[in-house]
Structure 1
């Protein structure tokens, strides 16, 4: 009987196993059917000639022959995953990494209750992560990186408590990082970088006590890194780069994260010092906090990190106001594995030590450009034989380029530009045969263009513009057919003709040879350079006509022929160049009629002035009408009629003449004042700087030096030859009212002396290298930018500190009040600023406020304190109501603007905020909160526990947000409301404002 029962039982179990095996086989065949491309013929083994457990990529359990592993990693398979994979109920591992599977991740995978490892990375899946993965309670590894998944992380994944690896890198996931991830007590890898997550990093992640790999870079995260994360001592990979995070790095981060190997937070808004404690993280290999607001110096003790391969702090504020801030170079000679060192675009001001040549011979990238490093170039560079990139640009280096530079035969990028290097270009440059980019512009190099450059047959960019080079352009240079980005030798003293061989540069995108002494005709072979997009030939002595062959340059966008001796008619083919966006033919000897089609319909894109024999064209070019040939046919007017017309015309002219004399008499007095202003502002300037000086100081007015832009001008940061940092306001002369603004600012500032007014150093009135008028004002540079940047920092701002304390705000308010009091009561003529707003208030190193931008300033008659000017003066939100109604400019108008500024300063809200609509205003918003609900309208930053209530230089005591501070706020805001009262007669005068604010400050400090 027992035997019978055993046989029955064995038969039943055997039948069940066979059924399960058949189910697995059919599921695998369905999976095979989903494969559309199989270059490695992996699926060829999936046939009935052998058992499915022996198929490639399939592993079965020895006990029951059920599929437990499906591993087809890196097989170049193309297709989709069949839903039937959910029938492989014994699967513990699915690894389809690095194939090209598309479509959705099948929800049927959620049926695989035994699944422990799901690896679908580096495919092209779309749609959302399946929610029913929650049924895979044994899942430990979920890796779906490098796909196109969308949506939020499903809440259902929170039930997968055994998860130790969560990889969602490089998808399109959105939403916030779920705090419940902190419940994964076994998690050691969290990789969610390169998505679109927003919000803050949850402090709950600090519970992941076993976490080793933490990567959230390239998202939209904001706020501060929670301190709990810095206490997970097991972390070795910590990268939060390319977000909008702020705050400072903890001083003890190297002690709390001793296992760090990678610590990266570049492209954020971190500020403060680089912690010295990082030297305790002895395993550190990569330290990268580029593009932040870090200050101070690079700790010397980082040289103790023997494993360091990358040290990258480009684009911070390191070295400000310090000396000997390159001593770290000496210590880094101990880092024998160092491959990348980036300290460029900071404020380092030391000389480069000779020990630079003792850095690791593994060094591939060395960038220290964009600083104020002075002195000569050390010979030691030649020891760094594995360098691929050497960036020394935008510094104050002088002397010669060492001949030994030719020993760096692995160099691909070499940046010497924007320095003060002199002497010859060493012939050893020709040894750099792997060079792709060579920048040497804006130096003082002399001699001829070295023939040896022809050996650099991989060059993409060759720029030696703005030096003192002379002689011909060697024909050998044009054998560099690799040049595809630019060939620039502009603004030297090169002579001779442009060789016919220029036509060999068939891949060239930009040709810039302007500002030399080149002569002869423009070679017709230039048309062979069919890839050209920009051509600059201006400022030479080219003659003859524009070659007809240039019509072949179908992709050209810029053509500059200005300031030459070109003649003949303007070629018709220029009208047909559909890509052409800018054409400069000015100051030549062109003749005939200007076309009216193509580029010629846009006056702002077409320059033709200085050609006295041109006529016609569109009206905006203001050229004379082309005279038609004289008509001698019988339809000509009779002589008597001609005489009658002449008499009538003469009579009209005489009437106009006498009328004009009468009008001029009345205008003469008014014009005398303007003429006097122009003379005093421009012609009598004995310390004016040249256009070349300003061009050099701003790296050619580059976007990197742009620090502000307004209606009438752009403001640049520059460094003059005496190492003085300056601010340069370049007037937009094409803007109506710009000249008037320029004159007003010169007149207003030339005789003013006050610590809280911006100081004008000098001016520049010249012609730029394109022949356009150029006017600029040069001011003291304010290192802490504008009040606007502090009150309303942009999300991409690298402002070193975006939080102003109560004391700092009060100091700024008093500084501005002092300035207005001086303008209104202490000058020879009463001055009304007319455009007071945060962007026109600049802060120096000590956070002292200076009122600037007097482009709309007006003088008042002393007797009446009324201006001769009418109309709307100022910026929207700060203009007093009476100006909008046509009232006259007065000092009470400035008081109104100051009142709005004061309310903005302490509420943090602009008067133009979207919150203020439907008739509401900042004034009404604050008025309703006085006095009992004042804390509801003050800037939330002032209520933050993170804000240190101490002034910028640490000179004032801490002021906690207690009852005394609330009293201060109520008093200050009441002054703001009084100043911004709708009726001028209800406003407080600036003398009283100064007295009251000083009393408030004295009571709390």
Structure 2
């Protein structure tokens, strides 16, 4: 309209005397909400999401008697939940998620009987969960997660028969989940992870909650067995019972009927594991369980497979190369032995490979160089032999490489150290490597090339020799430099003066000589320094 311009105050614009919606989402606003907002008495909706208001909400907002929709999530405001808002009895939605609200949930909110959405998670609210929430008969979304609520879950929360989303993660409630909640058949999103709740999941949960899409009950004290009736929840996509005390066998045949299941997490229980064969399963995490069966016939749609610290033994199946969509493979802490299959090189989408703490032997296959998407590679604490394959230099997205505590020999390939992305950690300690130390990448944070000098008094390992590279000083992000127990000679290079972020420096048990440079005394971030068993002379720097 022509009158809506800067020539007059916006309150004089035609039509603005009856503002019904205030939408200021993500406008980078800061400061406080002005008390004059209470003058906009025709407001039915307020959206202030994703701004930076630092003070409490003004009491004048309680004058907005026509208000139906209030979204003040992620705006950093603190104080208590506004008690005066209880006068806005037309409210159907309150969203104050992710702020800095404190103290208990005020009882005055019990007057807002038309609420359908109550999202007050990710604050610092204390006290108990109010029983009167059960009086919101039209409620379909309730989020209380990530607060400091304690006490038991009121049985009254089972009254809102239209409830669809129930979120109570990361609080301190105790006791058991009331059976009345398990009987709300409309619930499709149910998450109670990281609480002090206990008890057994009902064996008929898939029948009483047939619309489940997400069930997250991890990091609690659930006991008993996994309900086979979950197969009745045909829409189930995510199932998480991690870090509980579940026993018995995983009902793989039943869960295999869930054609939309994309993520399963049962790690750190006491389950016997069988193969899950679901059409679109994208993630399986079954770490720290008992007696798992074969994994060779899993869905080719699988993206995440973590089975660490189980009792799998024998060889890694060559059929694992068929899981071509894997982005993460975690099988650390097994009893897997024999040689490492070349088929792993077929997993071109792999970003993380955790195979440490096993009994792999033989050479590291050069086919690992085909994993051009991999960012972290952990193969430490095995029995690998032979040389580090130069083909690893093809992994140009690698951030972390750990090959320590094996039986590797030969030199550290320049192709590996030259990986430009290798910016967090390179660990090749406790092997039988020889030769000089190649110059590392400029961005490296952790360079651990120490070789333990002795396994016993009778078994002396070969060591890295030569001088510490002058170019090491270009690693200005370096935080840990561990080169102990080698045969480095010469002086500490002056270029290391640039390593102002060093927190750990261990160059003990070498043949270094000369004076300890004065710049070592200026490493303000240094927490650990070991220069022992060298041939240094002169005074230590202040």
Q: Deviations over 1:287-345 (max 9, x none)?
A: 112122222222121111111111111222323xxxxx3x2x2xx22x2221211111x
The CA distance in 2 between the partners of 1:78 and 1:226, in whole Å, is 42
Aligned partner of 2:268 in structure 1 is 315
Aligned partner of 2:223 in structure 1 is 271
The CA distance in 2 between the partners of 1:43 and 1:277, in whole Å, is 64
| Aligned residue pairs, count | 530
The CA distance in 2 between the partners of 1:351 and 1:212, in whole Å, is 36
Following superposition, the deviation at residue 195 of structure 1 comes to 1.7
The CA distance in 2 between the partners of 1:90 and 1:573, in whole Å, is 68
Aligned partner of 2:14 in structure 1 is 51
Unaligned residue ranges in structure 1 (runs of 5+) = 1-24, 30-41, 54-64, 320-324, 599-1005
Aligned partner of 2:455 in structure 1 is none
Aligned partner of 2:321 in structure 1 is 382
Following superposition, the deviation at residue 88 of structure 1 comes to 2.7
Aligned partner of 1:118 in structure 2 is 70
Structure 1 range deviating more: 211-220 or 109-118: 109-118
The CA distance in 2 between the partners of 1:147 and 1:44, in whole Å, is 37
Aligned partner of 1:352 in structure 2 is 294
* Aligned-residue CA RMSD (Å): 2.7
Aligned partner of 1:897 in structure 2 is none
The CA distance in 2 between the partners of 1:164 and 1:43, in whole Å, is 39
Following superposition, the deviation at residue 178 of structure 1 comes to 1.0
User: Structure with the greater relative contact order (CA < 8 A, sep ≥ 6): 1 or 2?
Assistant: 2
Aligned partner of 1:628 in structure 2 is none
The CA distance in 2 between the partners of 1:76 and 1:591, in whole Å, is 58
**Which has a greater percent of strand?**
2
The CA distance in 1 between the partners of 2:206 and 2:300, in whole Å, is 24
Tell whether 2:130 aligns with 1:193: no
Contact 1:472 1:494 (C-alpha < 8 Å) held by counterparts: yes
The 1:591–1:452 alpha-carbon spacing in structure 2 relative to 1, beyond 3 Å, is closer
The CA distance in 1 between the partners of 2:136 and 2:292, in whole Å, is 50
Aligned partner of 2:362 in structure 1 is 423
SS in structure 2 of the partner of residue 115 of structure 1: coil
The CA distance in 1 between the partners of 2:9 and 2:372, in whole Å, is 53
Tell whether 2:478 aligns with 1:524: no
Aligned partner of 2:40 in structure 1 is 88
Aligned partner of 1:505 in structure 2 is 442
SS in structure 1 of the partner of residue 433 of structure 2: strand
Query: Which of 365, 380, 393 is 1:454 aligned to?
Result: 393
Q: Deviations over 1:712-770 (max 9, x none)?
A: xxxxxxxxxxxxxxxxxxxxxxxxxxxxxxxxxxxxxxxxxxxxxxxxxxxxxxxxxxx
Following superposition, the deviation at residue 100 of structure 1 comes to 4.1
Following superposition, the deviation at residue 264 of structure 1 comes to 0.5
Contact 1:352 1:375 (C-alpha < 8 Å) held by counterparts: no
Tell whether 2:60 aligns with 1:108: yes
The CA distance in 2 between the partners of 1:93 and 1:431, in whole Å, is 55
**Which has a greater percent of helix?**
1
The CA distance in 2 between the partners of 1:388 and 1:45, in whole Å, is 59
Structure 1 segment 890-909 matched on structure 2, within 5 A: none
The 1:48–1:145 alpha-carbon spacing in structure 2 relative to 1, beyond 3 Å, is closer
Aligned partner of 1:343 in structure 2 is 286
Following superposition, the deviation at residue 422 of structure 1 comes to 1.9
Contact 2:433 2:451 (C-alpha < 8 Å) held by counterparts: no
The 1:125–1:392 alpha-carbon spacing in structure 2 relative to 1, beyond 3 Å, is same
SS in structure 2 of the partner of residue 404 of structure 1: helix
The 1:538–1:210 alpha-carbon spacing in structure 2 relative to 1, beyond 3 Å, is same
SS in structure 2 of the partner of residue 354 of structure 1: coil
The 1:591–1:385 alpha-carbon spacing in structure 2 relative to 1, beyond 3 Å, is closer
Tell whether 2:235 aligns with 1:291: no
Structure 1 range deviating more: 383-392 or 524-533: 524-533
Query: Which of 139, 142, 164 is 1:212 aligned to?
Result: 164
Following superposition, the deviation at residue 373 of structure 1 comes to 0.8
Following superposition, the deviation at residue 47 of structure 1 comes to 4.3
Following superposition, the deviation at residue 436 of structure 1 comes to 1.0
Query: Which of 516, 522, 529 is 1:583 aligned to?
Result: 529
Q: Deviations over 1:931-988 (max 9, x none)?
A: xxxxxxxxxxxxxxxxxxxxxxxxxxxxxxxxxxxxxxxxxxxxxxxxxxxxxxxxxx
The CA distance in 2 between the partners of 1:155 and 1:555, in whole Å, is 52
The CA distance in 2 between the partners of 1:227 and 1:428, in whole Å, is 53
Following superposition, the deviation at residue 171 of structure 1 comes to 1.9
Tell whether 2:361 aligns with 1:409: no
Larger radius of gyration: 1
Structure 1 segment 609-624 matched on structure 2, within 5 A: none
Structure 1 segment 746-825 matched on structure 2, within 5 A: none
Query: Which of 89, 98, 107 is 1:137 aligned to?
Result: 89
Structure 1 range deviating more: 544-553 or 243-252: 544-553
The CA distance in 2 between the partners of 1:85 and 1:570, in whole Å, is 67
Tell whether 2:90 aligns with 1:149: no
The 1:410–1:111 alpha-carbon spacing in structure 2 relative to 1, beyond 3 Å, is same
TM-score by length of 2: 0.90
Q: Deviations over 1:605-633 (max 9, x none)?
A: xxxxxxxxxxxxxxxxxxxxxxxxxxxxx
SS in structure 1 of the partner of residue 61 of structure 2: helix
SS in structure 2 of the partner of residue 108 of structure 1: helix
Following superposition, the deviation at residue 460 of structure 1 comes to 1.1
